[in-house]
Structure 1
Amino acid sequence: MTELILATLVGAMAALLANRNIAVFNDGLRPILPENIEGRMDRRTLALTSFAMSFGLVIGFGIPFSLTAKILLIHSILLGTDMIGLSLPSNRWGNAGAAVVGGIYGAGLSAGLDSIVNIFKMLPVDVLKPLEQVGAPVVVGFMAFPALAVALQFSIKKGIVTFAVSALARQLAVWCNEQKLLTFGQSTVTLNQEGVALITGMIFLIIFAIRQKKPETDGSSPVDLAAIFSERVNRIRKQVVFFMMMGGVIAAAANLLVLAGDPISLQLLSEGNRTDAALAAAARAVGFIPLIASTAIATGVYSPVGFTFIFVAGLLAPNPWLAGILGCVIIFIEVFLLSSVSRFLDRYPGVREAGENIRTAMTRLLEVALLIGGANAANMMAPGLGYFLIGGFYVLNEAAGRPVVRMAIGPIGAIVTGIIANLLVASGLMSPPLMK
């Protein structure tokens, strides 16, 4: 019964955070939320984008892993609550609805997983596995946004250098992982290659920005970084109580083996290796610091699990009560450190000018990444026809004056293609595609 209550609380709170545009779990969604918050993307488009980016991962990734160990992989709950929260209007009634539906969703996952998978297997064309491809290029492509921001603000030459070094850093991380060069005790430390590349690019961007010192010529007071970074970090700080409650509940759930933060620790827990699972979770958390911190500072949207150290606390704590307290404290410290980073950047006037370029760079890269991901997903569902449909949706949208924002074309097109593919197979006009 305790496990069911915890899963319900996690689902309810995570859906509420997503509905209020405070935090989402999908790393690819986090940079998109400011488009809705600042009025450049409507809620319906945001909901469809969330659905396309997360739905396939819930069924094709989160739930299957959960079934192997009878422990819920956190992705299966929080990717679902992203969709639930962002599908409802962000108002008082939407908040309540998201919490209720999210709680029911969490309880439903905890109570039984087999029936959920069986329902989606009934479709003649598998749309779940292909939809995973929609968000696949986002995190990988997103790591290049500092290089584009450098090119836009400083020079294309410096942008190319930043991009090349970021790519090299990513490949070195991959090599270190493959060679298992980093170890901690009996466990191998795995670096998050996208996070390494992203922080490398951010270092270049910050260094170039710090070195760029333009004197004020109009006699006005210097503009601090609050308009670019600090304002968004403060937005996260104001919600710290929500994050602390979320961190406490998740840490307690991890302590009782209701949830696991990643597939590696999940499998170790299924084998009874709690300490090794904690070490694996810690290594993953260290690798994700640059990715989560950078996106949080740039977007004002946090992750409901923070840097994921709350899973380490949950696994190492002697009981769920202490785990919950540690989870609250850890999340508080993380949010506090985000503000410290922002205040540090605020000392350098050259950095503040990067704000618009960062937003522009993120938007452009997301447009390309989501279009590629949508095209790949569509072509898996309808070989040949998928590329045709996505290409047609894109050019027709441009010719119509862009009624749908560019970054939504890939996800929406993939969903429409999945519907069309199932209708064609059902009518006998197309054979079910063979998917590897």
Structure 2
Amino acid sequence: MEFSLLKLILVAGLTALTALLSYYGRAVFHDGIRPIMPEFIEGRMKRPELASISFGLSVGFIASVGIAFTLSTKLLNPWLLFLPTDILGVFASRAWLAALLGGAWGIAVVSGLTAVQSVFGVFPIDFIGALGELSSPVLAGFALFPILAITYQFGWKKGAFSGVVVLLVRQLIEQGWILPKDFKLLPEAGELFVGTLLLVMFALIRDRGRDSSEMGEERSLFEERTQRIRKGLPLFAVTGALIAVIANLGYFAGSEVSIFTLQKAYSASDLSQEQALIQQAALADFLRGIGFIPLIVTTALTTGVYGVVGLTFIFPIAYLSPNPFIAAIGGALMITLEILLLSKVGKVLEKFPSLREASDSIRTAITNIMEIALLLGSVLAVLKMGQFTGFSIFVALYAINEALGRPVIRLAASPLAAILTGLILNILYLLQLFTPAAG
């Protein structure tokens, strides 16, 4: 994670804005905090109490997912930047203080983690480089999440059928049988597209003939709370623009499903491979965004509090934009359009209950697939660092976390255990208790 003044300014400006959105109660990043915000907005909860709850809900994710993913990939992520600004925004008693604290956090992250990366770079055993192995299983594994989602929602028969179709498509793409030779498409991208298409098709077939006319009396409340979000449109537009710019510049990844793919893309030596991987990351974040639409839209309509990254479609726009200027325009327009269409999206979700239900299956499938992929990737990383000595240390750390009831969630436990394994191996090396294999 290289230091640059531009990165420092952009990230500090972004975290200042997200802290302001939290201060005004317009948006937060943490899905668990959003339903609590109306208690504060409507005067039933004081700032210190809300800040305390926000800290309790977020600190584990900041320390595990946020830090572990950034150390593993050298890319900033939303958990590291936006969970702290959720806390700082509701903690601050004045708007200027929220902006100041948020900006200071951005500066601390960029300068502090750059220093940490530099220190780790002089260690005798290069465990940061070995962490690049995390990305390979993630690339291959994530493409299979639609099969798991179909199995959860529609049963094993449709899941097995989808698995056969998706894997067949993969092999046809890999062998170059269904696409022109000059058309670059990763097999995993084809798997993702076909699997998601099957999931949507099964959902629409189930919804045929259903009558779903609910929530009529609640629409006036939804409209009132949507209007509250719309009042923050200028802040949202600038925030969306800044998010898109730092993602386009290669400083930031939007989610757990794209961060390792982007890391591999930015380290690729071949331009065509880099572009293919960036397209894969954009598709992954786009499909993940689809899975989160019902959750984000429903909580926004019922609470009057939006997400600081909106429906997350800013990220695919940012990755695919030809330059930061276009990315800024696209990011600002995307989040503005989302907010203006919130009520209409809510009405569409009412008409297609199976699509609503599919979002739960998608989120569960993504989480489970990512846990498995990151576990396998972490095993490859620790084997590269320290062969079976590294593997033994890693297994011990991972098992302790499981035995303690998972104080670190599984999604972050594997990369964090891999980082700690690297540190322990370096200590053992300095104590002359470990010698890495030659070559």
* Offset of residue 383 of structure 1: 1.1
* Offset of residue 394 of structure 1: 3.7
1:197/1:243 Cα in 2 relative to 1: closer, same or farther (>3 Å)? farther
AA of the residue aligned to 1:120: F
Superposed CA deviations along residues 64-93 of structure 1, whole A, max 9, x for unmatched, are: xxxxxxxxxxx5xx45x7535456773325
Partner of 1:187 in structure 2?
none
- Where in structure 2 are the equivalents of 1:18-417 lying within 5 Å? 43-58=59-74, 75=75, 78-79=76-77, 83-86=80-83, 90-92=87-89, 96-103=100-107, 119-174=119-174, 181-182=181-182, 190-213=184-207, 222=214, 241=234, 244-246=237-239, 248-249=241-242, 288-299=281-292, 300=296, 303=312, 306-308=315-317, 312=321, 314=323, 325=329, 328-329=332-333, 332=336, 344=348, 346-417=350-421
Superposed CA deviations along residues 92-133 of structure 1, whole A, max 9, x for unmatched, are: 259654432424666899xxx9x9875433111112112233
Find the aligned partners of 1:7 and 1:177 in 2 and give their Cα distance. Answer: 43
TM-score (norm 1): 0.63
Find the aligned partners of 2:264 and 2:426 in 1 and give their Cα distance. Answer: 35
Contact 1:285/1:309, CA 8 A, preserved across alignment: no
AA of the residue aligned to 1:141: G
AA of the residue aligned to 1:417: T
Range moving further from structure 2, 85-94 or 129-138: 85-94
Q: Secondary structure at the match of 2:379?
A: helix
Unaligned segments of structure 2, at least 5 residues: 23-28, 36-53, 93-97, 254-261, 297-308
Q: Secondary structure at the match of 2:387?
A: coil
* Offset of residue 426 of structure 1: 0.8
* Offset of residue 284 of structure 1: 7.2
Contact 2:286/2:313, CA 8 A, preserved across alignment: no
Range moving further from structure 2, 33-42 or 355-364: 33-42
AA of the residue aligned to 1:298: G
1:178/1:132 Cα in 2 relative to 1: closer, same or farther (>3 Å)? farther
Identity among equivalent pairs (%):
27
**What RMSD over aligned residues (CA atoms) do the two structures have, in Å?**
5.2
Find the aligned partners of 1:156 and 1:173 in 2 and give their Cα distance. Answer: 25
Find the aligned partners of 1:171 and 1:158 in 2 and give their Cα distance. Answer: 20
* Offset of residue 378 of structure 1: 2.1
Q: Secondary structure at the match of 2:351?
A: coil
Contact 2:173/2:187, CA 8 A, preserved across alignment: yes
Find the aligned partners of 1:265 and 1:151 in 2 and give their Cα distance. Answer: 31
Find the aligned partners of 1:307 and 1:429 in 2 and give their Cα distance. Answer: 47
Contact 1:124/1:422, CA 8 A, preserved across alignment: yes
Contact 2:133/2:380, CA 8 A, preserved across alignment: yes
1:287/1:137 Cα in 2 relative to 1: closer, same or farther (>3 Å)? closer
The number of aligned residues is 368
Contact 2:244/2:317, CA 8 A, preserved across alignment: no
Find the aligned partners of 1:330 and 1:392 in 2 and give their Cα distance. Answer: 45
Contact 1:127/1:418, CA 8 A, preserved across alignment: yes
Contact 2:401/2:407, CA 8 A, preserved across alignment: yes
Find the aligned partners of 2:61 and 2:245 in 1 and give their Cα distance. Answer: 35
* Offset of residue 207 of structure 1: 1.0
Superposed CA deviations along residues 11-63 of structure 1, whole A, max 9, x for unmatched, are: 224556888999xxxxxxxxx975898999753244322322232322xxxxx
1:325/1:33 Cα in 2 relative to 1: closer, same or farther (>3 Å)? closer
Partner of 2:40 in structure 1?
none
1:252/1:414 Cα in 2 relative to 1: closer, same or farther (>3 Å)? closer
